[in-house]
Amino acid sequence: MMWVSRRTALLGGLGALFAVGARAQASGQTSGQGADHWYDLKDRDGAPLPNMRLPVELTSEIERLPGMFWMGAAQPDVTIIEVYDYNCPWCHATARDLHALMADADDVRVGFMNNPILSPASAQAAKVEMALLRTMGPQVAYDFYRAMFSRKGRADGAAALAAARVVMDGRRSETTEGKKNGATFANVQRAADDEKTVQALQAQMKLAASLGMSATPSFITGGVGIQGYPGPKTLGRIIAAMRDCEEPVCKG
């Protein structure tokens, strides 16, 4: 599709994407009602945190999922995946928690999976993230993720493109690697709107739906799906338990 302006940008394929998101939400709500609580997990307010065992044939697809990026340890003891939407209010706090967690722990790897089920505008932002990943790599995609969750207001294509420009300029000025990267802002715009990006986002949303991830943020670790914002203390306890017994909660 031809790029016309920042307001009309990133609209290509969004009808199909949001249709996947609608199915994800409906499927996840059904799964969540039956799954309830496999482990005794509480959120930051002490309320039960919904969680469920996930089929290994589905969780095994995550490592091969296109458009995801990974941060943290290269040889981790613990891997956790966040499932998020750029218009999710609680995802702002989660972004801070995960960044602090990776700063304090050198054995944790975090995977980032988009599931823009809240609005088509969320899908626009997700597509910009994936374009940055393709053109400039995971560190820039992560810088964008942090920038988007540090800002206030609605996340849409225009906001995402503005954040991308700032992140790209900062990365080029700060690092030798960034200076060597020949990607331009126009490259990112084109990549955000091409079929490869649309298909990658559809794949992430489809898998999130199959896994019953109906809330954002959600998390996947140790073959368990955890729905909702746990807060930093519960998240830390989950990571500690994964280290000790390879489960989100150690028994006994």
Q: Residue 19: helix, strand or coil by DSSP? A: helix
In tens, the pLDDT along 61-85 reads 999 999 999 999 999 999 999 999 9
Average pLDDT over residues 76-101: 97
Q: CB neighbours of 90 closer than 8 A, spacing ≥ 6?
A: 216, 217, 228, 229
| Residue 203 resides in a domain | yes
Predicted confidence band of residue 109 (pLDDT cuts 50, 70, 90): very high
CATH code for the domain of 65 = 3.40.30.10
Two structure tokens written together for 162: 């503005």
What order of strands is seen across the sheet that includes strand 78-84? Answer: 51-53, 224-227, 218-221, 78-84, 108-114, 69-72
In tens, the pLDDT along 181-190 reads 567 899 999 9
The pair phi, psi for residue 74, each rounded to 5°, is -75, -30
Say yes or no to pLDDT of 218 above 70: yes
Average pLDDT over residues 126-153: 97
| Residue 35 resides in a domain | yes
Predicted confidence band of residue 133 (pLDDT cuts 50, 70, 90): very high
**What pLDDT is recorded for position 37?**
74
Say yes or no to pLDDT of 45 above 60: yes
**What pLDDT is recorded for position 38?**
83
Q: What mean pLDDT is reported for the chain?
A: 86
**pTM for the whole thing?**
0.85
Percent of the chain residues past pLDDT 90, beyond the cut = 74
**What pLDDT is recorded for position 173?**
55
The domain total for the chain is 1
CA dist., res. 131 & res. 163, Å (int): 13
Average pLDDT over residues 212-228: 95
Contact 225, 54 (CB under 8 A): yes
Q: CB neighbours of 2 closer than 8 A, spacing ≥ 6?
A: none
| Residue 252 resides in a domain | no
Count Cα atoms within 13 angstroms, Cβ side, for 168.
23
| Residue 134 resides in a domain | yes
**What pLDDT is recorded for position 171?**
73
In tens, the pLDDT along 4-36 reads 333 334 444 555 555 554 444 333 333 333 446
Q: CB neighbours of 115 closer than 8 A, spacing ≥ 6?
A: 21, 24, 83, 84, 85, 204, 205, 208, 213, 216, 218
| Residue 154 resides in a domain | yes
Stronger pLDDT, 242 or 32, i.e. the higher one: 242
**What pLDDT is recorded for position 14?**
55
* 148: number of Cβ within 10 Å: 24
| Residue 130 resides in a domain | yes
**What pLDDT is recorded for position 44?**
85
The pair phi, psi for residue 224, each rounded to 5°, is -125, 135
CA dist., res. 62 & res. 65, Å (int): 5
**What pLDDT is recorded for position 9?**
42
| Residue 3 resides in a domain | no
| Residue 74 resides in a domain | yes
Provide the domain limits for residue 222: 14-244
